[in-house]
Structure 1
Amino acid sequence: MSQDWIYHNSHEENYRTPFGALPCSARVSLRIKVVSEAPPDSVLLRLWSQERGEILCTMSLLEASGKDRIYHREIEVLNNPGLLWYFFMIRLEGQIYYYGNNLQQKGGIGQVYIHEPPSYQVTVYKSNAETPNWFKSKVMYQVFVDRFFSYIPEATKYIPDPKTYFLREWSDLPDYERDQDNHRVLRYDYFGGNLLGLIEKLPYLCELGIGILYLNPIFEAHSNHKYDTADYHQIDPMYGDQAIFHRLCQEGKRLGIAIILDGVFSHTGSNSIYFNRDETYDSLGAYQSAASPYYSWYRFDRHPDLYDCWWGIDTMPNVNETDPGYQDFILYHKNSVIRYWMELGAKGWRLDVADELPDSFIKSLKEVMKAVDEDAVLIGEVWEDASNKVSYGQIREYLLGDELDSPTNYPFRRILLDFFLGAIQAEDMHLELMQLYENYPMHHFYTAMNLVGSHDVPRVLTLLGEAPDQQSLSKAEQRLYHLPASKRVLAVKRLKLLSLIQMCFPGVPCIYYGDEAGLEGYSDPYNRAPYPWGKENLELQFWYKTIIGFRNQYDALQTGSWHTLYANGNVYGLLRQIQQGRDVFGQKRKNGTFLVFVNRCEDQTENIEVDISNWCSGPLVNLLDGQERIDMDGSVLRLTLHPLEAKIMMQR
């Protein structure tokens, strides 16, 4: 028998209605088609969940025509938030056939197996769950404060301890001073960027169109990355102080820019008030004595030298997030870390390594945060599909209603890079994007932090320029590597197309500082070079201002519906639309219809035809070239896309 004699497609409303994630106790209709001479002996729907275990449901014959038979079953999903899994069992002529998810587990069209198959997923979330509406409409910008802009009046000049830090010129490349034998960092470089510098450049960010400023850690620490917190209640003196932070929040609010802080709560620094291994502080740290008020925060196998630490790095001792004293300090006390910084103006938090924080801690943190500001946003660092992420043997609860407002969308980044670098075709990109669309509750799909660069990955321009794999180069070679001129031109063209999709796709686009200015660089520390003030790639910078302007101007590009219009080979096309004055969340927004097409190919013109009669009727105007009017041929849109060309068209 051919593989398609049994058919189910979780993306088609004829086979699964309603689509995607569902609230608790909702009902979903599941159908499957069986094509056979003789009718099956039985067709069963197999369900599994943590809540109910395994359930086998008999499916009923809904309709029959010749050899084609459609079987149907309507079920109620879970009563409590969680994941529901399903596949089908067809008994025919004494043989059991299974139909489940495809081998890639992408959802959509599945396949036939003769053994238990991978299951389809239904995410079941809390019925009243929602995410902040304001957040869905903004564009985010991530900043490493030390590397953005230095503004240091003589009266506030601060010089760090030269035993720990050494100053570089703004035009230098970043690097660490390491021990040649064990490669441990001996001294950290710094460039002098600070919060006053951020305040000075807020007008630039406003002009760029930014509405959210996410800061890498700014609390006192003894590294340049600041992920080794020394004092949660102090701004690192390299960056400023609480008064300057409050001013930043106030100035940002005046310009429509919200400030998000990086919360590093899975570990502290060993050189901190709380651990105090280096006896830098007057406090009695956990390293010094079991009588320390902070001792219960940490896990010692043998006090004081053998303790649990983050990824084995002994300068970052892990904390026990369930310890009552630690929770009081971070969450519950009147002057808790969360309350303190939000009362100074922070609009939310990005949780570092969310998969190493217990679900209960994340839920409690969100509850406290929302009590201070119900419109605040909680972002979690998640590198995989956040709906079914497994960490330490457990499926994590990130999107069920009491946890994150927004996951970092690293899968989105990977999908787009794979497409533009030729690793997948447009049809594959569509299926991978649909997987996220199917698995994420709608309100999370539209708040996902859609990044393409960050401090933890090589610069997107370096990757798009087809730089050698960094593992093939020494650290010295990585530091000095620059794209050849021809590859840099290619990378810029690709980044323009990729960023256009990023700005026009559901979710919150996030720009890593300097990507819009043309910075290159391999992974840490080379992806953390200072912003190139006065040496920006003006073509890219103008492009980003333009496409961010489109997103900020048109409601449909923020919270309109999303559909893939075309996905074939080198060309991908999507549609964003608001009709009848309501967006996908039922909020009043302006009507609009936008079509975006990109041709990733470097040397081939693509001529495409798309029937768009279900969505709009011309004429269309190309926003990237206001003089270009595109007329419809009946219901068919015909487009010519030159190599590495994009069009974003609006219905007049």
Structure 2
Amino acid sequence: MMRDQLYHHSHQPFYRSPFGAVPVSREVTLRLGGTLMPTAAKASVRLWREGLGEEIIAMSPIEGSETAKAVWEARFIALKKPGLVWYYFVVEHEEGVRYYGNNSQRLGGLGQMQMEAPYSWQLTVHRDQMHVPAWYKEGIMYQIFPDRFYNGLSRNKIRSPKKNSFLYGHWEDDPVYVKDPVTGSILRWDFHGGNLEGIIEKLPYLQSLGISILYLNPIFEAASNHRYDTGDYKKIDPMLGSEATFETLCQKAEALGMRIILDGVFSHTGSDSRYFNREGNYATLGAYHSKNSPYFPWYRFKNYPEEYDCWWGIDNMPNTNEMEHSFRSFIIDDEDSVIRRWLRKGAAGWRLDVADELPDPFIRELRQAMKETNPESVLIGEVWEDATNKVAYGERREYLLGDELDAVMNYPFREAMIRFFTEKDSGAETAMQLMSLYENYPREAFYSCMNLVGSHDRTRILTVLGEAPDEAGMGTQEKIQYRLPKKKRRRAERRFYLLTAFQMTFPGVPVIYYGDEAGMEGFSDPLNRRTFPWGSENQALLNWFKKMTAIRNGHEVFSKGDWQLLSTGENHIAFTRCFCSGDEGELAVVALNRHEKQSVVFQEKMPRSTEAPLTDLISGSQVILEGEWLTLELAPQTVMILLAPLKTTACEDDKVV
């Protein structure tokens, strides 16, 4: 490193301490080294503090050390209230002014020298004493699209079918939309008949899979099968069941160690709702029919009543005016508000649909109401990017600073996994993407991320890993009939085995999208929402999932342990997890090789040493450390999950590269 003219690595505690996000009023030390520093005339840190603006902090050489003025440092208080700090370095030298900032990928870590103002490193400052309930942070989540999971009624009866809907004759039928050929709008919503009784009946299956959290796509009354067009926030959709059925589900799930997360859709309602009532299916005076409606202030009309603000231009989903007093009271504040009501009925948390379209004050108030009602409830947000620096509608959002979301859906994790396992990114590039999140997110938030690889909004993960053709060039029937050819299917499954092992041993909450564990395929909506193939599951894949979830649940190190990259290469990634409680703990090494034909051999110095052998939880084989050094050979397309006991009084904090 000292051979570089300038050097700063934000992941190395010597150069930035403490690592990553920091609580308010925390002192931060930044150091800059390199061959230019001993003869530098002046060096400084250019800070930009959110809410305060620019500040130049003078640096000074570290005296009386072996660095011999080759390393300069600056200390400062990051921020006294939550926000972001950005920084880079300016060095004045006889050869001129040099700038040193973040790398061109803007992912943190090793920087690069520039002749002009460079990209800045990010420093996240959050509220002190952030807390996410352990039941969530240490759990495994399963996402259910209720209409397509299981019908628990006798003889597959479909209860309370909707007017002008389309009902499939067989559970196994492929879903297809009945659309207007001119406008593309849905003419008839299709239903398979899954319901809450079906989820109750399958709770033992979910327990056998190691699940402790159930995230349900919307279950409130609505016209569609996805139910993101809410018709009545305080009524379970009759096709799914009743309020009593929901309470029974919560009670029986809790008895088996599972909790329920509900989907909250508050940025818009359905046009076919008791609040808007465009279709006239409710007895209430809806906003569409009268400006005297109590719900009229909930919406934004442009040319009453036909033109109104709606979600992404879809006219059956009129947008709400979230900060309007009566709407906010109905959803959040009232004693029987939507948020409070369903928590009292047994829900343990909410997932906020399209969090980007909800104002920060709305999210803060919603969280406060949740914590007042149930301090151990959890609030998750749908955010598709790095949630610490997300800008939506011209505003930098404050999701993870301590008084809004407990967690976010980790779509960046999904993207990184897909790019690595389909060989678009190397192990080193993938590690940089994951380290960027680790650096930017408060630790509680990072360990609470909803680490999904499949969802109702994306093509099935097996279809992606099998590198199916681009569906944009395919017709409707062609997409319905498409299945991965045998060779591609085998490749997809082998990749999925490795990905699942990575997901179950990585910090955060692993999420299984219903049916992924059974080997389901499918392009985007509606084919990613096929019915669960009961009786036709891929048993080998299902057994692998059960093995991986058992490993996750059986060892605290995988939900609580520090995380540190160990080795990366073109085709491999290896990392360590370390967790201690009292004078005992566990050390884990997870190493995988994605290459189909070539083995990988690496030797790395371990961050912690143990005299006990490391046992592979998959094969049972053992590896002995040579002092502090670990040598591993990974066969093609294999993963090793090595574990050894530790005898120590404490684990080191802030494990980084």
TM-score, normalised relative to structure 1: 0.96
Measure the CA separation in 1 of the matches of 2:459 and 2:609.
Answer: 39
Tell me whether 1:118 sits opposite 2:116 in the alignment.
no
Contact preservation (8 Å) 2:37, 2:71: no
Gaps (5+ residues) in structure 2? Answer: 646-657
Instruction: Quote the residue 1:432 is aligned against.
Output: 433
Per-residue Cα deviation, 1:156-189 (whole angstroms, up to 9, x for no partner): 8514135133334111111111112222111121
Instruction: Quote the residue 1:40 is aligned against.
Output: 40
2:625 pairs with one of 632, 639, 651: 632
Measure the CA separation in 1 of the matches of 2:70 and 2:153.
Answer: 75
Contact preservation (8 Å) 1:613, 1:636: no
Contact preservation (8 Å) 2:609, 2:628: no
> How far apart are 1:36 and its partner, in Å?
2.8
Measure the CA separation in 2 of the matches of 1:164 and 1:320.
Answer: 30
Matches within 5 A, 1:361-400: 361-400=362-401
Instruction: Quote the residue 1:586 is aligned against.
Output: none
Q: Secondary structure of the residue that 2:541 maps to in structure 1?
A: helix
Contact preservation (8 Å) 1:417, 1:464: yes
Contact preservation (8 Å) 1:617, 1:635: no
Letter in 1 for 2:31: R
Contact preservation (8 Å) 2:609, 2:627: no
> How far apart are 1:651 and its partner, in Å?
1.3
> How far apart are 1:154 and its partner, in Å?
6.9
CA pair 90-630 structure 1, distance change in 2 beyond 3 A: same
Contact preservation (8 Å) 2:558, 2:577: yes
Instruction: Quote the residue 2:303 is aligned against.
Output: 302
Letter in 2 for 1:601: H
Letter in 1 for 2:179: R
Contact preservation (8 Å) 1:168, 1:189: no
Instruction: Quote the residue 1:11 is aligned against.
Output: 11
RMSD: 1.7
Matches within 5 A, 1:474-513: 474-513=475-514
Measure the CA separation in 1 of the matches of 2:343 and 2:38.
Answer: 67
Measure the CA separation in 1 of the matches of 2:562 and 2:627.
Answer: 24
> How far apart are 1:73 and its partner, in Å?
0.6
CA pair 407-489 structure 1, distance change in 2 beyond 3 A: same
> How far apart are 1:94 and its partner, in Å?
6.2
> How far apart are 1:109 and its partner, in Å?
0.5
Tell me whether 1:614 sits opposite 2:608 in the alignment.
yes
Q: Secondary structure of the residue that 2:33 maps to in structure 1?
A: strand
Q: Secondary structure of the residue that 1:329 maps to in structure 2?
A: helix
Per-residue Cα deviation, 1:580-636 (whole angstroms, up to 9, x for no partner): 538xxxxxxx6211111111001112222222263434412111112x222334433
Contact preservation (8 Å) 1:348, 1:378: yes
> How far apart are 1:472 and its partner, in Å?
2.7
CA pair 265-498 structure 1, distance change in 2 beyond 3 A: same
CA pair 398-38 structure 1, distance change in 2 beyond 3 A: closer
Gaps (5+ residues) in structure 1? Answer: 583-589
Instruction: Quote the residue 1:327 is aligned against.
Output: 328
Measure the CA separation in 1 of the matches of 2:268 and 2:636.
Answer: 48
Instruction: Quote the residue 2:655 is aligned against.
Output: none
Measure the CA separation in 2 of the matches of 1:61 and 1:573.
Answer: 36
Contact preservation (8 Å) 2:124, 2:440: yes
Letter in 2 for 1:483: L
Letter in 1 for 2:138: S
Measure the CA separation in 1 of the matches of 2:220 and 2:257.
Answer: 24
Tell me whether 1:650 sits opposite 2:651 in the alignment.
no
Matches within 5 A, 1:45-444: 45-63=45-63, 69-93=70-94, 95-153=96-154, 157-444=158-445
Measure the CA separation in 2 of the matches of 1:525 and 1:4.
Answer: 53
Per-residue Cα deviation, 1:528-582 (whole angstroms, up to 9, x for no partner): 0011100000011000111100111111111011111111111111111113538
Tell me whether 1:31 sits opposite 2:31 in the alignment.
yes
Identity %: 47
Instruction: Quote the residue 2:591 is aligned against.
Output: 597
Measure the CA separation in 2 of the matches of 1:36 and 1:409.
Answer: 40
Q: Secondary structure of the residue that 1:7 maps to in structure 2?
A: coil
Contact preservation (8 Å) 1:3, 1:111: no
Letter in 2 for 1:563: Q
Q: Secondary structure of the residue that 2:202 maps to in structure 1?
A: helix
Measure the CA separation in 1 of the matches of 2:607 and 2:564.
Answer: 14
Per-residue Cα deviation, 1:294-351 (whole angstroms, up to 9, x for no partner): 0000001111011000000000000010000000100111211011111110000000
Measure the CA separation in 2 of the matches of 1:20 and 1:636.
Answer: 27
Contact preservation (8 Å) 1:10, 1:19: yes
Measure the CA separation in 1 of the matches of 2:163 and 2:123.
Answer: 55
> How far apart are 1:41 and its partner, in Å?
2.2
Instruction: Quote the residue 2:447 is aligned against.
Output: 446
> How far apart are 1:129 and its partner, in Å?
2.1
Larger mean CA deviation between 189-198 and 175-184 belongs to: 175-184
CA pair 577-266 structure 1, distance change in 2 beyond 3 A: same
Letter in 2 for 1:295: F
Structure 1 runs of 4+ aligned residues shifted over 4 Å read: 63-68, 154-157
CA pair 65-561 structure 1, distance change in 2 beyond 3 A: closer
Larger mean CA deviation between 139-148 and 41-50 belongs to: 41-50
Measure the CA separation in 2 of the matches of 1:379 and 1:155.
Answer: 33
Letter in 2 for 1:4: D
CA pair 364-38 structure 1, distance change in 2 beyond 3 A: closer
Contact preservation (8 Å) 2:37, 2:72: no
Larger mean CA deviation between 94-103 and 296-305 belongs to: 94-103
> How far apart are 1:101 and its partner, in Å?
0.6
- Size of the alignment, in residue pairs? 643
Measure the CA separation in 2 of the matches of 1:12 and 1:110.
Answer: 12
Measure the CA separation in 2 of the matches of 1:66 and 1:552.
Answer: 46
Q: Secondary structure of the residue that 1:454 maps to in structure 2?
A: coil
Contact preservation (8 Å) 1:4, 1:111: no
Q: Secondary structure of the residue that 1:648 maps to in structure 2?
A: strand
> How far apart are 1:38 and its partner, in Å?
7.0
